[in-house]
Structure 1
Amino acid sequence: MHIAFLTPEFPHERVAHAAGIGTSIKNLVVALAYKKVKVSVFVYGQQEDALLVEDGITIHLIKYRKYKFMGWYWHRKYLQNYLNKHILSQKIDAVEAPDWTGITAFMRLKVPLVIRFHGSDTYFCHIEKRHQKLKNYWFEKLAVQNAEAFIAPTTYAGNISKKLFGIKNKLVQTIHYGLELNRFENPNPALFEKGLLLYIGTVIRKKGVFELPEIFKKVRLLFPEAKLVLIGGDSSDVQTGSHSTWQMLQKEFDTNDLEKVTYLGKIPYKDIQNYIKQAHVCIFPSFAETLGMVTIESMALQKPVVNTNMGWAQELIADGETGFLVHPKNHTLYADKILELLADSNLCLTMGGNARKRVEAIFDIEKIAQQNILFYQSIIGQS
């Protein structure tokens, strides 16, 4: 079996950008290759054309090309032709693509197409109750119509996407993202910096960052030595048009609280684990995710997590046992749960240990890879 992945991001030093989608894809393709599944990754929108082979995985870097007219169409057609050439020459059995931007709209591939609901513009606009450009919905809707079947990282994300795109009589399978657990070991979970709160993710409104100032203020009223560290790229703000959410966010903190806040920006992925291990509590007050890779990474490293209580998070965390689930707008309760953890090291260790066990049971990439293999065998068998 030979599976191809079309993606705008993938963790590699020669790839322009990689975030949660790219990490989840790399975790999967490495595990598939280990199980003797042939894998090719086609990374579009890059600064160069290149062909790389690493760890048994073939990586195609596809340079971004400009067109004078209807670039949105010709860009997709170029990718279609590139894929079809390699589908035939490399005997690829199926192609997986993301839902974001409907990159496979107008494509006619020579093998079954599977779309994974990493999070479309349609999905996020619905979750955030934002207006969506008709063109964006059109692209994503066309892409969905061309797909043979779908994978969702949570049942919540799958059900909403299914409803938004009017999917009928096609399979929408829930298969969670997974982690290579031997790369997420924390031999000393009792060693951490007391009072250190850690947020990881893009600094953007949809991830609940504007709730942090009020939550942090309430935490520091009872735990003055608390610190807050934020890791992740800055973003423009869709609501105000500001080019920097971080610049806006700083103004929301009380002056004394801001002195205890550190923003590190984007850091190498390999360095993030050290910050998670150092943290006392990890906090993710997001309004819009499909799963949230950093949540399960923190859980794997035995960290107590205070997460949002939105639908996808309920599939990750057993509230009160493997973490806490609180609506981000409920600042008082959110702060109370953080304070409960800051005041009780035994609770942190117990909850962190339970979190690790849950990740081992549900998000182990070995199990996830096998689920994907069975899914693709069923799709290929039908074609």
Structure 2
Amino acid sequence: MHLGFITPEYPHPRVKTAAGMGTSIKNLVVTLTRKNITVSLFIYGQDEDAIIEADGAKIHLIKNKTYPFGGWYLHRKYINRYVNTYIDSDEIQAIEAPDWTGITAFMNFKIPLVIRFHGSDTYFCNLEGRAQKAKNKFLEKQALKIADHYIAPTTYAGTETAKLFGIHSKRVKTIHYGLDLSKFINTTPEKFESYRLVNVGTVIRKKGVFQLAEAFNKLVALQPKATLYFIGSDSGDIKTGSASTWEIVEATLTPEAKKRTTYLGKVNYEDVQKHLKEAHVCVFPSLAETLGMVTIESMALQKVVVNTNYGWAQELIDHEENGFLIDPNAIDAYVQTIEELFNDIPRCILLGSEARKKIENTFDSEEIVKKNIKFYKEVIA
């Protein structure tokens, strides 16, 4: 079997962007190639044209092109021609692409096209209750309209996306993202930095960073030893137009909370685990996800996680059994839960152990890859 993946991101030194979507794709690619599945990656929007080998896969870096007008259409057709060339020459049997920005709108393939719901702009705008650019919705709708099959990382993301684009929910297959658990080992879960909170993800409004800052203001007043670490790239703020969401977050912190807060910016993927292991509690009050890779990564490392209680998270955590699900806007509930965990280390260790069991039972890449292979065998049959 030979599968192709179209993506704007992937964790590799020569690729411009690597976030949650890229990480989930890499986890799948690595396990597929271990099962002797041939994989080609087509990574668009890059600074260079190149073909390299990594993770057992053939990686095509496709340089971003600019056009005097109609670039949104012409660049898609360029990518389409490029991919089709290798579909023919390398005998690729199925191609997968993300829903984000509708990159496959107006593309034509001779093989089945699968769209995986990593999270479209339409989906996120709906969750956040904000207006969407008509062009983005149009392109995403066109992309999903021509797809042959659909995969969602959670049932929630699949059901909500299907509603938004008028797709029958029975056409959407739920296959969770997987983790290579051999790479997420914490041999000393009882060792961590007491009173340390860690949040990993792009510093952006939809990740609940303002709710977290508000909660930390109250938490520091109750527990002066508390510290908060933000890890992730800064971004512009869509509501205020500011070029830096972090600057706004920082301005909302009280003087004492500001002293106890550290922003590390973007950290190498390999170093993120170190920071997660040092956390007393991992906090992810996100307002919009399809799954949330960093949540399951933290749980795999036996960390207690205080998460959002929105739909997708209910498929990751069983409340009070292996983590916590709390409305991000319930600031006092967030503060109370974290304070209790600060004062009950045995419970943190127990919940972390149960979190690892949850990941082993639900998100083990060795089991997840079997579901993906079975799905693709049916697609190309």
Shared topology, TM-score over 0.5?
yes
Where structure 1 has 5 or more consecutive residues not aligned to the other structure, the ranges are none
Deviation at 1:248, TM superposition (A): 0.7
Identify the residue that residue 305 of structure 2 maps to in structure 1.
Answer: 305
TM-score (norm 1): 0.98
**Is the partner of 1:265 in helix, strand or coil?**
coil
**Are 1:319 and 2:314 counterparts?**
no
Q: Secondary structure at the residue paired with 1:283?
A: strand
The total of aligned residue pairs comes to 381
Paired amino acid for 1:45: G
Instruction: Provide the rounded CA distance (Å) in 2 between the counterparts of 1:373 and 1:116.
Output: 14
1:223 CA drift (Å): 1.5
Task: State the Cα distance separating 1:339 from its structure 2 match.
Answer: 1.0
Deviation at 1:222, TM superposition (A): 2.3
SS for the counterpart of 1:291 is: coil
Q: C-alpha displacement at 1:212, in angstroms?
A: 1.6
Partner of 2:360: 360
In the alignment, the residues of structure 2 paired with residue 277 and residue 49 of structure 1 have an alpha-carbon distance, to the nearest angstrom, of: 38
Letter in 2 for 1:243: A
Matches within 5 A, 1:183-222: 183-222=183-222
Deviation at 1:126, TM superposition (A): 0.3
1:225 aligns with 2:222: no
RMSD: 0.9
Q: How does 1:107-256 map to 2 (within 5 A)?
A: 107-168=107-168, 171-256=171-256
The 3-state SS of whatever aligns with 2:190 is: coil
* Contact 1:148-1:170 at 8 Å conserved across structures: no
Alpha-carbon separation, structure 2, partners of 1:312 and 1:279: 23
- The equivalent residue for 2:15 is 15
Instruction: Give the equivalent residue in structure 2 for 1:58.
Output: 58
Q: 1:342 — aligned with what?
A: 342
CA deviations 1:340-370 (Å, max 9, x no partner) are 1111111000000000000001000111111
The alignment partner of 1:41 has SS state of: strand
The 3-state SS of whatever aligns with 1:251 is helix
Aligned mates of 2:69, 2:188 — CA distance in 1: 58
What's the counterpart of residue 90 of structure 1?
90
Contact 2:158 / 2:169 at 8 angstroms: preserved in 1?
no
Aligned equivalents of 1:237 and 1:78: distance in 2? Answer: 32
SS in 2 for 1:220: helix
Q: Distance in 1 between matches of 2:7 and 2:227?
A: 36
Structure 1 stretch 324-333 or stretch 170-179: which is displaced more? 170-179
**Does the aligned pair in 1 maintain the 2:112–2:379 contact within 8 Å?**
yes
Tell me by how many angstroms 1:170 deviates.
6.5
User: 1:229 aligns to what SS in structure 2?
Assistant: strand
Q: Which digits, 9 at most, give the CA deviation of each residue in 1:305-355, with x for residues without a partner? A: 000000000000000011000001000001111111111111000000000
Mapped partners of 2:251, 2:64: distance in 1: 37
State the alpha-carbon separation in 1 of the partners of residues 231 and 329 from structure 2.
Answer: 21
CA contact (8 A) 2:29 2:55 kept: no
TM-score by length of 2: 0.99
Equivalent residues of 1:306, 1:326 under 8 A apart:
yes
Distance change >3 Å, CA 170–CA 356, structure 1 → 2: closer
Q: Which amino acid aligns with 1:68?
A: P
Amino acid at match of 1:303: K
Structure 2: tracts of 5 or more residues without a match: none
Partner of 2:6: 6
SS of structure 1 residue aligned to 2:264: strand
- Provide the C-alpha distance between the structure 1 equivalents of 2:204 and 2:62, rounded to a whole number of angstroms: 28
1:219 to partner: Cα distance:
1.6
SS at match of 1:215: helix
AA at the equivalent of 2:341: L
Matching residue's letter, 1:223: Q
Q: Look up the match of 2:377.
A: 377
List structure 1 runs of 4+ shifted beyond 3 angstroms.
none
The percentage of counterpart residues that share the same residue type is 57
Alpha-carbon distance in structure 1 between the residues aligned to 2:211 and 2:57: 41
